[in-house]
Amino acid sequence: MPAIYLPSFTYGGLEKATNGFEEQLGSGAFGTVYKGDVPSEPRKLIAVKKLNKTESNGDQEFQAEFAAGGDLLPKEPFS
């Protein structure tokens, strides 16, 4: 499997990219996924998962889900 580059963003940067977490794409056990737009050439659309307050072992479960690649690619293309 090829390496995946995952850039880091500040909360403020994600808030700006999602226009204040305006357009919801879906939700799951750990939070809600929002559509975002990162200014670049060419334009890049992103999906941002904003986590709910985690329960006692929720953080470990989320990390396991992420490590398995469960939320790296959208289930449906952006429209």
Please, which pLDDT band fits residue 62 given cuts at 50, 70 and 90?
low
Question: Does the predicted TM-score (pTM) go above 0.85?
Answer: no
Instruction: Compute the distance between CA of residue 57 and CA of residue 5 in angstroms, rounded to an integer.
Output: 27
pLDDT value for 54: 60
27-51 confidence digits (pLDDT tens):
877 789 999 998 877 888 888 888 8
User: Backbone phi, then psi, for 58, in 5-degree steps?
Assistant: -65, -35
Encode 10-74 in three state secondary structure.
Answer: CHHHHHHHCCCCCCEEEECCCEEEEEEEECCCCCEEEEEEEECCCCCCHHHHHHHHHHCCCCCCC
Instruction: State which fold the 11-67 domain adopts.
Output: Phosphorylase Kinase; domain 1 (3.30.200)
Check the annotation: does 50 bind a ligand.
yes
Tell me, what's the pLDDT at 31? 83
- What is the per-residue pLDDT for 36? 94
Highest mean pLDDT (candidates 8-12, 39-43, 54-58): 8-12
